């Protein structure tokens, strides 16, 4: 009887890892944009958004492993965009 040693840790899907890295960078862009707008928001508002960003970043790998990751994470990015307006800053139609 032969025995094989196997790694019991779940294997990560390489696509999930790439997706997670992509979205992580997008959330970090939101964070940088928020930092640039601190003077326009109350300390409480900034604190709440930072707490939410930290929570999302901590759960991002798990979120990206789900079948509906694109929909879920895209919706989260839209919600952060409502505060940071990052898309307006990076949209070429808004460059003068």
pTM of the model: 0.72
Which has more pLDDT, 1 or 18?
18
Question: Which residue reads 């294997």 in tokens?
Answer: 11
CA distance 48 to 31: 12
What is the model's pLDDT at position 90?
A: 55
End-to-end Cα, the chain, rounded Å: 73
CA distance 92 to 96: 9
3-state secondary structure the chain: CCCCCCCCCCCCCHHHHHHHHHHHHHHHHHHHHHHHCHHHCCHHHHHHHHHHHHHHHHHHHHHHCCCCHHHHHHHHHHHHHHHHCHHHHHCHHHCC
What is the model's pLDDT at position 28?
A: 94
What is the model's pLDDT at position 89?
A: 63
What is the model's pLDDT at position 87?
A: 75
- Tell me the domain boundaries of the chain: 15-85
pLDDT above 70 for 91:
no
Which has more pLDDT, 86 or 19?
19
pLDDT tens-place string over residues 32-82: 999 998 998 899 999 999 999 999 999 999 999 999 999 999 999 999 988
């Amino acid at each position: 009887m032969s025995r094989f040693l196997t790694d019991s840790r779940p294997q990560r899907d390489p696509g999930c890892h790439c997706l997670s890295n992509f979205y992580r960078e997008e959330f970090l862009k939101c964070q940088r944009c928020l930092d640039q707008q601190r003077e326009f928001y109350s300390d409480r508002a900034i604190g709440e958004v930072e707490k939410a960003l930290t929570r999302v970043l901590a759960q991002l790998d798990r979120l990206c492993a789900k079948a509906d990751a694109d929909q879920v994470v895209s919706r989260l990015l839209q919600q952060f965009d409502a505060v940071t307006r990052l898309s307006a800053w990076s949209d070429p139609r808004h460059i003068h």
